[in-house]
Amino acid sequence: MVGILMFFAALLLLLFGFPVAFTFGGVSVFFAIIFGLVEVIPFGGTIWEGVREGMSMFSFMPFRLYAIMTNKLLMAIPLFIFMGLILQKSNLAERLLESMGSLFGDIRGGMAISTILVGAMLAASTGVVGASVVAMGIISLPVMLKYNYNKELSTGTICAAGTLGQIVPPSIVLIILGDVFQLPVGDVFKAAFIPGIWLVGLYLIYIFAVSFFRKEVAPPIVLENRGNKIQQINKALIDIVPPLILIILVLGSIFAGIATPTESAAVGCFGAIILSLLYRQFSYGMVKQTALETVKITVMVYTILIGATAFSMVFVYTGGDEIVRDILLQLPGEKYGFIIFSMIAILILGFFIDFIEISYIIVPIILPVAEHIGLNPLWFAILIAMNLQTSFMTPPFGFSLFYLKGVSPPEIKTYHIYRGVVPFITIQIIVLLILAFYPQLFFLSSG
């Protein structure tokens, strides 16, 4: 039971706001010592012998850390982060939103449609959820409000578009899940692509439908200084085609098997710098600032990974994994009972902890059970990725909701955002259920 107590102790400390990586690392050391004392003292051992027994669990920790640091797959993470930050600082979101808005703004729901399409492109190029939500919240939300768009539809659309970066390749969460499941990341990217397209398509259908039946929620927008239609199209092509080529180069090379994700990420970094030169945003200061931010984010990811590794070692050595396995295998409904329970658990935990911790702490606990009952690991990984995306938007603790609230004008209240995301969460759950029960529609198999 030491491992189970350790798990709940870590969650409790996280709720109190303690840093994630140090919480997992510190809790693992503390409970390893407790386990050593319990094992030694009842049989006449000393406290020092108990401490030594507990700390012996970490004897293989240096080898695990070396394996993490030399993992070529994880090298793709800082490269994709660097690529995304370069594109973000090149004002890619602003250019795409202006161009899409000029093309679709004069139809009902056109600005919301533009936001979803731009969100999909940003997801496939930057993959940074927070940056996408903030950028679109700053740029498109004031325009929607100015032209009397419904507040709930506006905020819900921005949150939904921004979180596409969780499921649309090259998503960081897909790379991490590929590492945890020991799957080729190229295969994970391919498997996630179709569900991502489904999600974008259903978002667009919803916006078309609500704009058609409730004409007051998304009126046409006539933007000022747009020029004639030919000029609009030319400007849109200049703004849209270069990042689209970059997306095709990065994802296409992975899907075609020409390059590994790490190699494609390096190509993406080079392409992002070329785009910044093309858009006249390149400078030494910008590259330096981007490199520093990349290092900070990467260090955060690796520090969490080290803490999660220590936590997992102690959890396994104390027998926590066997207890969890026995409980999960006794659930009613067998395979689908396990899937429903694990999806609900991940969704709830997603309210409180980030996808990195879930991927490196929770997934390794339930993965052996999934393998035991014969679930297709690729299919199960995409289910988890889709679930993690839903948790980003689910009230009251969805991260995207807080990102948007932080940049919203005063007239946008929290309940506007909460109500606005409900239809999009419903769409995500529908896609998740279809993926769970009819995986063949996504060219996947559950077993």
Q: How far apart are the first and last CA of the chain?
A: 32
Predicted pLDDT of residue 60: 81
- Over residues 391-410, the mean pLDDT reads 81
Residue 21 lies in a domain: no
> What is the rounded average pLDDT of the residues 254-274?
87
Q: Does 316 fall in a domain? A: no
Tokens describing residue 301: 């990811």
Average pLDDT (92-105) is 76
**Stated pTM of the model:** 0.86
Contact present, 388 and 355 (Cβ < 8 Å): yes
Give the model confidence (pLDDT) of 230-247 as tens digits: 777 777 778 888 888 888
Q: What is the pLDDT of residue 200?
A: 93
What pLDDT is stored for residue 88 in this prediction?
80
Rounded to whole angstroms, the Cα distance separating 265 from 249 reads 10
Predicted local distance difference test score (pLDDT) of residue 231: 73
In sign, the C-alpha dihedral spanning 410, 413, 417, 419 is: negative
Q: How many domains does the chain have?
A: 1
Q: Which residue has the higher pLDDT, 268 or 239?
A: 268
Q: What is the per-residue pLDDT for 224?
A: 58
**How far apart are the C-alpha atoms of 402 and 443, rounded to whole Å?**
35
User: Of all residues in the chain, what percent carry a pLDDT higher than 90?
Assistant: 13
Q: Sign of the CA dihedral 176, 428, 195, 265?
A: negative
Residue 111 domain flag = yes
For 177-229, write each residue's pLDDT tens digit.
998 898 988 899 999 999 999 999 999 999 999 988 888 888 877 665 555 66
**For the chain, percent of residues with pLDDT exceeding 70:** 97
pLDDT in tens, 378-390: 999 999 999 888 8
Q: Per the domain annotation, does 93 fall within a domain?
A: yes
In a domain, 329, yes or no: no
- The answer, yes or no, to whether residue 440 has pLDDT greater than 60, is yes
Residue 226: what pLDDT? 55
Asked whether residue 169 is assigned to any structural domain, the reply reads yes
Can you tell me the distance from the alpha carbon of 380 to that of 242, in angstroms, rounded to the nearest whole number? Answer: 34
Please state which of the ranges 10-14, 51-55, 300-304, 349-353 shows the lowest mean pLDDT: 349-353
Neighbouring residues of 231: CB distance < 8 A, sequence distance ≥ 6:
none
In a domain, 195, yes or no: yes
Residue numbers of the domain that contains 262: 76-298
Residue whose token pair is 């990065």: 250
- Is 119 a member of any domain? yes
